[in-house]
Structure 1
Amino acid sequence: MTNDTTAAGPRATEPHYCEHCNDSVPHEHLDIKAVVAGARRDALREAGWMTAASAVAAGAAAGLAAVAAGTAPALTALGVTVAGWVVTTLAGLGVLGATRARLADSGAVLAGSFTTAALTPLVALAVALLTGGGWAVALVAGAAWLLCGALAALARARTYRALLLQPGEAGERARSAAVARSRRPGRREPVSWLLQAVAVAVCVWALTPLPALVVVLVPLAVVGVVAQARRRQGR
């Protein structure tokens, strides 16, 4: 008499079929609904903390500058920076809209980015000349640029949340972008947001003793946009 110790059940050689698509090749299925829900949640949360942090930074920088340089220079730096941000943003959007008919979407976005990058050192120059510059004023300019960028991110997040649920081609593109972004973890927008504010503050500080340096900073800002675009294409 022999004892059979083989466990009952499917044989080891029997293929396993996916319950979703009946494919025997091992693979994973992406939950699109979960990705979209996560993208909507993350967009608003990220923009929310960016806005809160930049508001605190702007208030602290303005208070410090008022003590160190005076109330008038601090308020002037704040106002000129906000106005400059609005002008550069509108100029970039204008170039984007004007070139979209002749270029691909990526080319139009790049042209708009070149425009905003080239105008940003001019905003820093205006702040330095109108306030007398200095490190305190530079802090206000950087923090104000930070706040403007955060508010823009908050507005984009609200639009993006609605777009992700929108039927049609635009909504489908947004959902495809959300899926692609979920596979490339990272926080590129907050990093870029912080670096732009730091660059504005450094430009104001550097242009205070040497306004002519703006002729170097303008092309340097454009080169920075080109480098960033190439790095993104390489990913």
Structure 2
Amino acid sequence: MDGNGRWAAAKGLPRVAGHRAGAEAVRRTLKAAVKAGVECLTLYAFSSENWRRSEEEVTDLKGLMRFYLDRELEELAKEGVKLRFIGEPSAFGPDLWERLQKAAAKTADNDRLTLNVALNYGSRAEIARAAQCLASKVADGQMDAAAIDEDAMGAMMQTADLPDLDLLIRTSGEIRLSNFLLWQAAYSELVFLDLYWPDFDDAAFQGALDQYAGRQRRFGGR
């Protein structure tokens, strides 16, 4: 979900206004995903690299997380959305981390759509942790090194209980993955859109789904 800051700058607004508009785009996208019958939607909300931003901006982002979590939780629960998180959200502090855990627990039994939010997430770190876990199992004699394969690595990913990633969408005109779901995106379809995230709407989402539907997925087989 890229381009909040540039959207705000283009309109002469503070960066936090871009993040607020981005949060509204999340609401629109979630509704569109439910309507389209999407099974699982993952949002890159805060990367592990975002800590490099100013303290003021990080504080604003955490405040927005609290605000929208409090405002939207009941609606998510009513719509049958299951909320879960990947990354290391505990780094946001005990207050916000407790709110996130309670929100996940409240929606745990919902099955209409899984909303997977990446917070303090970096894909390289996720892959490194998976390798560490497998190395520890080998060192403890719980598995043989020869048994480490793609399935074993995949089982260590934070998304192991989610469906395979079919479609990855990036906004803002940038054409890169920026450390997002690198393992999971190995055979996903990629769509790069030349619009800022706050301008992402139902039509843009449907357009990305239409692109996906029109592609042939061969998985290297032919």
Shorter-chain TM-score above 0.5: no
Hey, which of these two has a bigger chunk of strand by percent?
Answer: 2
Larger gyration radius, structure 1 or structure 2: 1
The structure with the largest helix share of the pair is 1
State the TM-score, normalized to the length of structure 2.
Answer: 0.29
